[in-house]
């Protein structure tokens, strides 16, 4: 039994290396080229410029990454809201961890226990946010993870600094969500052409 090409491979469109225009290559089931035709051009027929064929995989991967980042936005916004709510009511700053240990110790009533619990909750949500930052950055080393933690803040910071950082991170999350919505709208408007992401990104950066 001879190997034959699938129907989708009988006709392929490639760029002519001399004229840089699209051409249709027609093959028989064995893979032999039967003839080469000029690909139709005109209104409604998408045309690729030189270099755009190689750009499509990169833009497709970028689209996937933006989609994945946008999918995490609701979780990140929830974490930021909890951080902003808990920061003023927790033992933060230098020595905060020691105060938390005292405040949650059995038999010690002189320190407000709720502050200790809030500190533990705050540390939990800040750890979640640091983890989300690390994933977004693709952090795979200890140094990269440390940078991701700095981006989300630290329980050793003052409440004001923690809240300010959480608000910045929340704004960035909103930006990711809006970028994803605009990107998808641009691609849809251009008939599913992922190269529309390039023009949308340029407009986004300028504005």
Tell me: the pLDDT tens digits for 143-163? 666 666 666 667 677 888 888
The model's pTM is 0.59
Is 125 a residue whose pLDDT tops 90? no
- What confidence tens digit (pLDDT) does each residue in 61-83 have? 889 988 988 888 898 888 888 88
Residue 169 is encoded by which pair of tokens?
A: 């991170």
CA distance 55 to 32: 28
Radius of gyration of the chain (CA): 27
Q: How far is CA 207 from the centre of its chain?
A: 20
Q: Closest Cα partner for 113 from 100, 123, 124?
A: 100
- What confidence tens digit (pLDDT) does each residue in 8-31 have? 778 777 777 666 666 788 888 888
How does 120-146 read in b/e, with b if 16+ C-beta sit within 10 Å?
A: bbbbebbebbbbbbbebeebeeeeebe
Q: Closest Cα partner for 126 from 152, 158, 91, 156?
A: 152
Question: Maximum CA pair distance of the chain?
Answer: 90
């Amino acid at each position: 039994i001879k190997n034959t090409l699938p129907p989708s491979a009988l006709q392929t469109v490639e760029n002519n290396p001399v004229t840089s225009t699209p051409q249709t290559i027609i093959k028989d089931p064995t893979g032999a080229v039967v003839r080469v035709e000029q690909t139709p051009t005109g209104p409604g027929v998408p045309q690729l410029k030189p270099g755009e064929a190689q750009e499509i995989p990169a833009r497709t991967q970028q689209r996937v990454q933006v989609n994945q980042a946008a999918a995490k936005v609701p979780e990140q916004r929830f974490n930021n809201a909890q951080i902003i709510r808990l920061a003023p009511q927790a033992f933060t700053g230098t020595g905060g961890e020691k105060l938390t240990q005292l405040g949650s110790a059995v038999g010690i009533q002189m320190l407000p226990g709720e502050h200790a619990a809030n500190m533990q909750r705050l540390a939990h949500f800040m750890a979640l946010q640091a983890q989300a930052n690390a994933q977004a950055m693709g952090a795979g080393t200890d140094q990269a993870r440390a940078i991701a933690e700095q981006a989300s803040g630290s329980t050793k910071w003052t409440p004001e600094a923690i809240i300010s950082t959480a608000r910045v991170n929340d704004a960035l999350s909103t930006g990711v969500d809006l970028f994803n919505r605009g990107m998808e709208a641009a691609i849809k408007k251009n008939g599913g052409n992922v190269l529309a992401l390039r023009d949308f990104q340029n407009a986004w950066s300028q504005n």
